[in-house]
Amino acid sequence: MKINIYYGGRGIIDDPTLFVIGKMQEVLDELNVKVEKFNLYELKNTITTVPASINDADGIVLATTVEWFGIGGYMQQFLDACWLYGNKEKIAETYMCPVVISTAQGEREAMTTLDLAWEMLGGLPCSGLCGYVDDLVSFEMNKDYLGIIEKKTENLYRTVSQRLKSLPASNKAVNKVSSVSRNIPLTPQESEQLSKYAADETYVQQQKEDIEELANLFRGKMEHKSTDENMLYIGDFRDNFHPDTKVNGVYKFVIKDRKKPLIVEIEDSELNCYYGNHDDPQVMCKVTMEVMNHIVAGQMSFQRAFMSGEMQVKGDFRMLRMLDQIFTFSKEEA
């Protein structure tokens, strides 16, 4: 089991929320749960990529501090990114425990905001934890408070491990009818550019038409292209390989409708591609042939496929980011 903790505070030393999630992490460690913590204030420049980390989690904790009003900007940006770029199918089966500690007032309202936001995203909220702290030292020394934190953490563990069910919520039903989100298949750099043009409907429509035209062109070329099935994609990877001494490892591509996965091994700037199996790849990617065709044709980057949810990834995300640097597929000429 894996639990991700997303901390939306400012990271100041006397933030009581840091103490609470620290205790929660200790309890989860004792229960042999893998825990990964994300400090959103450190990731603010790459916030659009953070929702992808939910893909390999069984449950998450959204933790924030009310210093004057509401859940804070970092947590709001993260939830916005989940709405725009998150994998809704994965979110729909992911439990979320809200943790809100206040040094002002409004902790219950903030916890309700997190619950409602996660339900609007289609996720599964579970019992959370909120409270007011005016003296961090006395709070840390109070055994009763520590017991409450431990029990809430154990409840989170039981909820996720047993996949406990809850009664349906009305806002989920209303959301399906009245508000359908769109996963925008853009890289973080493209999303920054989009912010300048989002209000220009003509520009957005033109982009969609261009993408569709390229997809149709590629499909037409594929209909007349004879390829040895045993060498499918291998030549593309070899021809577009640009060695990087920093990259050594194994990529495993599980391609739908292919009997065996495509293994891409890189060692000392040498490339070895073949169809077979590898028990311990650093990165495993699940992708359809259609998406892989777009990638090798230069119409879609690996990062864009990952961000849009069209390629699911497990493993070392740092190696994933290097894929687009060591394999530079260029667009085919018309």
pLDDT tens digits for range 297-321? 889 899 888 888 899 998 888 888 8
| pTM greater than 0.75 | no
Residue type, 150: E
pLDDT at residue 113 is higher than 90:
yes
Q: Which of 246, 33, 259, 285 is nearest to 157 (CA)?
A: 33
Burial class of residue 245 (count of CB atoms within 10 Å of its CB; 0-12, 13-18, 19+): exposed
Q: CA 276, 279, 281, 284 torsion: positive or negative?
A: positive
Q: Which of 258, 261, 262, 259 is nearest to 271 (CA)?
A: 262
pLDDT at 185: 57
pLDDT at 275: 92
What CATH superfamily is the domain 188-334? SCP2 sterol-binding domain (3.30.1050.10)
| H-only helix segments in the chain | 16-30, 73-85, 88-91, 107-120, 136-141, 143-162, 170-178, 188-197, 201-223, 234-239, 289-296, 302-307, 317-326
Strands 262-267 and 95-102: unpaired
Tokens coding 62: 């959204």
Say how far apart CA 137 and CA 14 lie, in whole Å: 9
pLDDT at residue 45 is higher than 60:
yes
3-class SS at 14?
coil
pLDDT at residue 21 is higher than 90:
yes
Binned at pLDDT 50, 70 and 90, residue 334 comes out as very low
pLDDT tens digits for range 210-246? 787 777 666 655 544 444 567 888 988 998 998 887 8
DSSP state letter for 231: G
71-75, 185-189, 277-281: range with highest mean pLDDT: 71-75
Say how far apart CA 5 and CA 2 lie, in whole Å: 10
Adjacent-strand bridge partners of 167: none
pLDDT at 215: 73
Q: Are 319 and 282 in contact (CB under 8 A)?
A: yes
pLDDT at 268: 86
Domain boundaries, the chain: 2-178, 188-334
Could you tell me which residues come within 8 angstroms of residue 148 by beta carbon, excluding any fewer than 6 positions away? 129
pLDDT at 184: 52
DSSP state letter for 327: B
pLDDT at residue 102 is higher than 50:
yes
Q: CA 135, 137, 143, 148 torsion: positive or negative?
A: positive
Q: Which CATH number fits domain 2-178: 3.80.30.20, 3.20.20.10, 3.40.1360.10, 3.40.50.360?
A: 3.40.50.360
pLDDT at 316: 86
pLDDT cut 70: percent of the chain above it: 84
Mean per-residue pLDDT over the chain, rounded: 85
pLDDT at 60: 96
pLDDT at 224: 45
pLDDT at 76: 95
